[in-house]
Structure 1
Amino acid sequence: MNRQLDTSISHAVAVGEAVCSIAPLSPLPDPADEPGPSELIALLCLGAGLFLGWSALFYLFGALLVPWELETALSKAELSLGLTAAILVAALIAPFAGRLIDDGHGRLLLGGGALVGALGLAGLSMSVGHKSFVLAWMVVGAGQGACLFEPTFTFLARVLRQRARRAILLVALIGGLATLLAYPAAALLTDLYGWRIAVGSFALMTAFVMAPLMYAGGALLEPASLHLDRETRNRAGRLALASARRRPAFWGLMISFALLAIAEGMILSHAVSAMVEFGQIEAVALLAMTILGPCMTAGRLCMLWFKPNGASFAIAVIAAMGMATGIAMLPFSGEHVGIGLIAMSVFGLGYGLIIVLKPILVSECLGYLSIGAILGALALPCFTALAAAPYGAALLWEHGGYALAILAATIAATLGALGLVAIALSRRD
């Protein structure tokens, strides 16, 4: 009995020493000073890269869904399977991306992911038939999982810790304007040269502009996170992830994020087609999606300006309910031009806040140690739900029109908001 007690005490001391040894050489620095010029330049690079990346690797699908449906022999469900496949691949990559960030390879992940995404877009521009279309989107999905908001925000949370909130907001302010580029540029290029040239142009932009920006931004920030030896870092990371999985908040966040992802995926991929079906002209529907980005940025500006410290969960609940409200308004968009614009504005305000709040909510509930692995584990079901959403919306459309798909998206967003309420209440106990 005494021997077992001595062994337990020795083990506890060893673990304590391992954790204490992390403190002086923490891979998660928490500097108190204001960010220097190099950090601000890095954030601008990442923001500009995400502005281009979201335009090319995600919003491009929604911008070209109507032309693809008209000019190819593919159905809406077959086309939607492309984006579903892309996001599913991103889901599979997410846990590995988190580990790479924890291991100090963020710059390579972000820059390399953009190059992979550009390769997928190049293949998409030359695709012929359904198989090659879906395969190209799978390659794009690999890029999505390595260089869009999830890995970038995970990278910032890992490197900057407490100060990551401000950094994430600054980056998201720029990246969130992507719809201003994606929808007008895709429509213009498609009208002038056809959708293949439009996709090829986005591929070139991703390879030669986005990739260098993402790598440069990561390179300017990452050196501060490369002080721990790999063995100590991995041991601490495994302990932190295992501890997080034993907490109810981990599973609550996972379910809530997945439900919100279902609503997000349905709307971002089908909103234009849905508004057209409800009686709105395509130009107005495209305008509604174009202003989505500025509305996302407006919400983030408010959060950056007012600095609502300690109110992250309250803001997240309001944002999720905003998403649900905006979605619920879409069936009435054909009655008046302004309704569709207001619906997407309200949805955009909520959606834009949810994106930037995810890593903040996770860090507040589960801590910063091994946050890359934790966010990666949470991202897998979230991305899976996001992947299923476009195809699921297409199937619902086939059986009951877009009214049924919009109802499903509204319910998913509402349940996601209620899940966040439950987590917030449990944290007060």
Structure 2
Amino acid sequence: MLISSVPIAAICTGIAVTLFYSASYYLFPALLNFWLDTLSISKNNLTFAFSLSLFVQAFAFPFYGRLIDRGYGLILILICPIMIGLSLLYLSYAAELYIVFLSGWISVNFFAAGCTYNMLFSIITMAEKKDTKRTIIIITLIAGFASTITFPIMTYFASTHGWKFAIMIIGISIIIIGTPMLYAGMKNYVIVKVPKKLQNNNKILLRIDSKLLLLSLPFFLIALNHQMLVSHIIPLLLEKGVEFKMAIIIASLFGPFQVVGRLIILFFREKISDTDSLFYIFYMTVISLLFLYVTHISPSLAFIFILLEASAYGVTSIILPLISKDVLGMSNFGQKFGYVSVFYALGLSCGPWIGSLIWTNSNYDFVIIFIILSSLIGLLICYILKYKYFKSLPKK
């Protein structure tokens, strides 16, 4: 593929992934208050269902990664989006029943594992085309608006036509728009015949060594912290005294401000290394949480929080596959990256539920303190990585 045509493919992929993330990550927090008002299901049980679905998603990554290593990436990008759409239609049909709510979310996120950032960027990285980083950045720039679209639009449809109608709209959109867009964007990246040098291990399960584990832990903490915030941001802001309409606006800025971080990387990618960006994420998270903690003094401080936290987190999806490739190598990369993605997705899955548990036994101030402490632990792990593995990486 010529470099001049990369943006077209990236734009198509970005549009598709925007819809997938709207369904798998932002739909739940957007409709949480509506479910609390209409369903006889507790907040803990609602967030547990979502957390469990992300937990299932986590362990789907090595499975999908192995399929990619064996040349079945095309099947993933065709089947997974359709199944997400059908799962949402199922969820909209009878979600008043907890078993339907639970199984519906599990299905959504199991199939989302095969067609969102982690596996798509694995495919793009393995293709080894020119300017892989630029392609990934363009996709994330577009998909970064998922929250901007999801929160206001789903809130509008749920308020005017009911939450079931809102879910149906996004489910149908994924089937008729997301699937063909993803195929158009990814068809030239999929490797049908994977070189032997990239699949030299026939074992179903690869050994998780200390290098892979140490690399995975910071990304686990990043995901844990961010998803805890995203899933609870509206009730957290309400507890801080922020008005509901303003809380919706702030929540919808997660996406655009992620784009800010990605634009910084796009324009300064020759000067800012991937490893430096990893440190930046944790530092900015700590600073942003300090602003969130004192939001009760002035609601406008929440905008500073969302700018710093979201812009830092937005860099994660770019550096995750690139650092993984540099540290772990290209042999069996799909499956290795799948294991790294397991830890990342486990963080996402634990976030909503842990946030609920902390809130139930105290309040959201303790959630903020917990995230600050876990970010400091993440920084410590990054320094260990720096002296153990990052020093040997080429400067970028």
Task: Report the TM-score when normalising by structure 2.
Answer: 0.92
Residues 141-183 of structure 1, C-alpha deviation per residue, up to 9 Å, x if partnerless? 1122111111111111111366321111111111111111001
Distance in 2 of aligned mates of 1:236 and 1:398 = 46
Correspondent of 2:288 among 304, 307, 326: 326
Is 1:304 equivalent to 2:266 in the alignment? yes
Is 1:40 equivalent to 2:2 in the alignment? no
Correspondent of 2:157 among 189, 213, 222: 189
- Deviation of 1:232 after TM superposition, in Å, equals 6.2
Residues 256-307 of structure 1, C-alpha deviation per residue, up to 9 Å, x if partnerless? 1112221122111111111111111111111111111111111111111122
8 Å CA contact retained: 1:42, 1:217: yes
Correspondent of 1:234 among 195, 199, 215: 199
Correspondent of 1:217 among 185, 203, 209: 185
Label 1:339 to 1:310 Cα distance change in 2 as closer, same or farther (>3 A).
closer
Q: Which residue of structure 2 aligns with residue 378 of structure 1?
A: 340
Label 1:393 to 1:121 Cα distance change in 2 as closer, same or farther (>3 A).
same
Is 1:153 equivalent to 2:121 in the alignment? yes
Q: Which residue of structure 2 aligns with residue 175 of structure 1?
A: 143
Alignment of 1:344-423 (within 5 A): 344-423=306-385
Label 1:324 to 1:207 Cα distance change in 2 as closer, same or farther (>3 A).
farther
Which residues of structure 2 form unaligned runs of 5+?
none
Distance in 2 of aligned mates of 1:329 and 1:111 = 43
Q: Which residue of structure 2 aligns with residue 287 of structure 1?
A: 249
* Residue correspondences, number: 390
Label 1:239 to 1:55 Cα distance change in 2 as closer, same or farther (>3 A).
closer
Q: What amino acid maps onto 2:199 in structure 1?
A: N
Residues 4-48 of structure 1, C-alpha deviation per residue, up to 9 Å, x if partnerless? xxxxxxxxxxxxxxxxxxxxxxxxxxxxx95142x4322111111
Task: Report the TM-score when normalising by structure 1.
Answer: 0.85
- Deviation of 1:240 after TM superposition, in Å, equals 12
- Deviation of 1:99 after TM superposition, in Å, equals 1.1
Distance in 1 of aligned mates of 2:68 and 2:271 = 26
Residues 237-270 of structure 1, C-alpha deviation per residue, up to 9 Å, x if partnerless? 769965xx44x43221111111222112211111
- Deviation of 1:346 after TM superposition, in Å, equals 0.8
Q: Which residue of structure 1 aligns with residue 16 of structure 2?
A: 49
8 Å CA contact retained: 2:72, 2:192: no
- Deviation of 1:135 after TM superposition, in Å, equals 1.1
Is 1:258 equivalent to 2:258 in the alignment? no
8 Å CA contact retained: 1:237, 1:369: no
Alignment of 1:29-178 (within 5 A): 35-37=3-5, 39-126=6-93, 127-160=95-128, 163-178=131-146
Q: What amino acid maps onto 1:403 in structure 2?
A: D
Residues 213-252 of structure 1, C-alpha deviation per residue, up to 9 Å, x if partnerless? 1122221322xx33446x665325769965xx44x43221
Correspondent of 1:200 among 168, 174, 184: 168
Q: What amino acid maps onto 1:41 in structure 2?
A: I
Distance in 1 of aligned mates of 2:39 and 2:204 = 51
Q: What amino acid maps onto 1:219 in structure 2?
A: K
Greater shift in the superposed pair: 286-295 or 323-332: 323-332
8 Å CA contact retained: 2:145, 2:255: yes
Q: What amino acid maps onto 2:51 in structure 1?
A: T
Greater shift in the superposed pair: 332-341 or 298-307: 332-341
8 Å CA contact retained: 1:116, 1:142: no
Alignment of 1:9-48 (within 5 A): 35-37=3-5, 39-48=6-15
Distance in 2 of aligned mates of 1:327 and 1:136 = 33
Q: What amino acid maps onto 1:207 in structure 2?
A: I
In percent, how many aligned pairs have the same letter?
22
Q: What amino acid maps onto 2:355 in structure 1?
A: A
Distance in 1 of aligned mates of 2:124 and 2:311 = 22
Label 1:111 to 1:282 Cα distance change in 2 as closer, same or farther (>3 A).
farther
8 Å CA contact retained: 1:42, 1:221: no
Q: Secondary structure at the match of 2:187?
A: helix
Aligned-residue Cα RMSD (Å) equals 2.2
Distance in 2 of aligned mates of 1:323 and 1:106 = 34
- Deviation of 1:209 after TM superposition, in Å, equals 0.8
Distance in 2 of aligned mates of 1:363 and 1:238 = 20
Distance in 2 of aligned mates of 1:228 and 1:111 = 19
Distance in 1 of aligned mates of 2:194 and 2:61 = 23
Distance in 2 of aligned mates of 1:332 and 1:317 = 24
- Deviation of 1:422 after TM superposition, in Å, equals 1.9
Q: What amino acid maps onto 2:92 in structure 1?
A: S
Which residues of structure 1 form unaligned runs of 5+?
1-32
8 Å CA contact retained: 2:71, 2:193: no
Greater shift in the superposed pair: 181-190 or 380-389: 380-389
Q: What amino acid maps onto 1:140 in structure 2?
A: V
Higher relative contact order (CA 8 A, sep 6+): 2
Distance in 1 of aligned mates of 2:24 and 2:341 = 18
8 Å CA contact retained: 1:320, 1:354: no
